[in-house]
Amino acid sequence: MFNFSYQNPTRIVFGDGQISQLGKLIPAGSKVLLTYGGGSIKQNGVYQQVIDALKGHSYVEFSGIEPNPSYETLSKAVALVKAEKIDFILAVGGGSVVDGSKYIAAAALLEQDGWAILENKVRIKAALPLGCVLTLPATGTESNANAVITRQSTQQKLAFSHPSVYPLFAVLDPKVTYSLPAKQISNGVVDAFVHVMEQYLTYPVNAAVQDRFAESLLQVLIEEGPKALNEPENYDIRANVMWAATMALNGLIGVGVPQDWATHGLGHQLTALYGLDHAQTLAIVLPALMQQQRATKREKLLQYASRVWGLQQQDPERQIDEVISHTRAFFEQMGVPTRLTAYGLPASSVDELMTKVMDQGMDKLGEHGDIDYSASRAIFTAAV
Ligand code: NZQ
Ligand code: ZN
């Protein structure tokens, strides 16, 4: 196991009715910016619960943060924060609203334009404190330090990470997920699954705790994901999916182990160019990447096959073939297609995607830095 230092400062407040705790969780005397998306929270009653809980706090609203939150929209919120002298941000929504709010929190304390954060041209020193009410289990953003922001004018989708944007708290009430369209539950389960895989499917370093934790999260998602689609109002199923998604990317299973993240890096290009949902891009890339990297990932692929899927073939190569098929079939079972063509993208899109990959100098992806341009091309080509 590698050396590591681990701290996750986010307080998780989990369960039915817990939005009512907001009044106590937000520091007294704060001037709050309440951020949300396109209005789902007004239809499912979450907005009213939040407003009731905010009695006694002074707040301003900013709505309209879109899926794959855009720099263009968020810049308006940054201006509002500065003009209104906001000192706390409460994000209510899915990963896009929370990520967008992290960007607002960091950009509001900069003198220059916030896009410099995404281009690594400025070092963040501090951010406004933020908390969140998560309405879509998927990204893990509710208790991590990451955010992914899209600049529409240049079709760039970039990420940043800084400890100052860990949410102070995250309220997770599984009941607020009942109103999610099936597609978003599918997306969430696939995203969480791939987060585990990015931190698990690399090479062994004798990290027994991280491996067994990761394997149990994968098994929970495989078991509960389809049930979450079939029984949308089963509290226990939604609770298990929600907690699994948080645990998948709160840093715990990633400490002391190599990490990959090539599936995400390549997937972001599909969103930037064609607007595909984040999880759709992962379902396309991961099975092709497992195939391309089967030699360097061999030991972990075999461990994954036997421990997660119970595949006990005599021939290791066949075992790997089978576990790649099982992974693909799971995404398809969740209703997320795994081929570019299933989204109407022809073989010629591989060239467009590679131009994007090369523009960003992404020539050393993966846990060994061995996914160069030709390997990325092979992955996209295998995904057609
Ligand atoms: O905007 P509203 O009206 O709220 O509707 C949203 C949106 O249309 C809707 N929704 C959310 N909660 C709902 C609901 N509809 C009904 N009932 C509810 N309870 O769902 C739609 C999608 O929401 P979005 O926030 O975009 O989805 P998700 O949580 O999957 O977030 C995706 C974003 O997170 C980034 C992705 O790249 C993408 O931009 N990621 C962030 C990560 C992180 N910060 O660590 C890691 C991930 O790998 C990922 O990259
Ligand atoms: Zn993801």
Query: For 162-208, what is each residue's pLDDT tens digit?
Result: 999 999 999 999 999 999 999 999 999 999 999 999 999 999 999 99
Q: Please give the number of the atom of ligand 1 that sits closest to the Cα of 144.
A: 45
Instruction: Write down the pLDDT at residue 169.
Output: 98
Distance 315 CA to ligand 2 centre (A): 32
Cα–Cα distance measured from residue 41 to residue 52, given in angstroms and rounded to the nearest whole number: 14
- Kindly state the average pLDDT of the residues 198-219: 98
C-alpha to C-alpha distance for 373 and 363, rounded to whole angstroms: 5
Residue entry with tokens 């009410």: 133
Q: How far is the CA of 313 from the centre of ligand 1 (A)?
A: 39
> Cα of 149 to ligand 2 centre, how many Å?
13
Question: Rounded to the nearest whole angstrom, what is the distance from the C-alpha of residue 153 to the centroid of ligand 1?
Answer: 21
* Confidence category of residue 286, pLDDT binned at 50, 70, 90: very high
CB-based neighbours (< 5 A) of ligand 2, an ion: 191
Q: Phi and psi of 88, rounded to 5°? A: -155, 140
Q: Please give the C-alpha separations between residue 56 and each of 25, 29, 95, 129, in angstroms, as whole numbers.
A: 12, 9, 27, 19
DSSP secondary structure, 316-360, as one string: HHHHHHHHHHHHHHHHHHTT---SGGGGT--TTHHHHHHHHHHHT
pLDDT tens track for 69-113: 999 999 999 999 999 999 999 999 999 999 999 999 999 999 999
Q: How far is the CA of 201 from the centre of ligand 1 (A)?
A: 25
Cβ atoms of residues 117 and 103 within 8 Å: yes
Amino acid at 62: F
Q: Which of 73, 150, 189, 278 maximizes ligand 1 atoms within 8 Å of its Cβ, making it the mutation to test the pocket?
A: 278
| Residue 229 Cα to ligand 2 middle (Å) | 20
The rounded Å distance from CA 24 to ligand 2 centre is 31
Mean pLDDT over 360-366 rounds to 97
**Nearest Cα residue to atom 34 of ligand 1:** 95
What is the DSSP secondary structure assignment for residue 66, as one 8-state letter? Answer: P
Query: Quick one: average pLDDT of 40-53?
Result: 98
For residue 46, which atom of ligand 1 is closest to its CA?
19
Is the separation of the CB atoms in 214 and 200 below 8 Å? Answer: yes
Site of tokens 């089967």: 294
Amino acid at 242: M
Q: Which ligand is nearest to the CA of 139?
A: 1
Mutate which of 8, 96, 185 to test ligand 1's pocket (most atoms within 8 Å of Cβ)?
96
Q: Is the model's pLDDT at 280 over the cut of 90? A: yes
Q: Say what the pLDDT of residue 314 is.
A: 87
Count CB atoms within 10 A of the CB of residue 3: 6
Pairing of strands 169-172, 11-14: parallel
Burial letters 255-266, b for 16+ CB under 10 A, else e: bebbebbbbbbb
In the structure, which protein residues have their CB atom closer than 6 angstroms to any atom of ligand 1?
A: 37-41, 44, 67-68, 93-97, 99, 135-136, 138-141, 144, 146-148, 176-177, 179-180, 184, 187-188, 191, 249, 264, 278
Please give the number of the atom of ligand 1 that sits closest to the Cα of 184: 20
The answer, yes or no, to whether residue 313 has pLDDT greater than 90, is no
Query: Residue 361 burial by CB count (10 A; 0-12/13-18/19+): exposed, middle or buried?
Result: exposed
Output the CA 352–ligand 2 centroid distance in Å: 22
- Residue whose Cα lies nearest atom 17 of ligand 1: it is 180
Q: Average pLDDT of the chain?
A: 98
- The ipTM estimated for the assembled molecules is 0.99
The whole-number average pLDDT for the span 205-217 is 98
Mean pLDDT over 344-357 rounds to 98
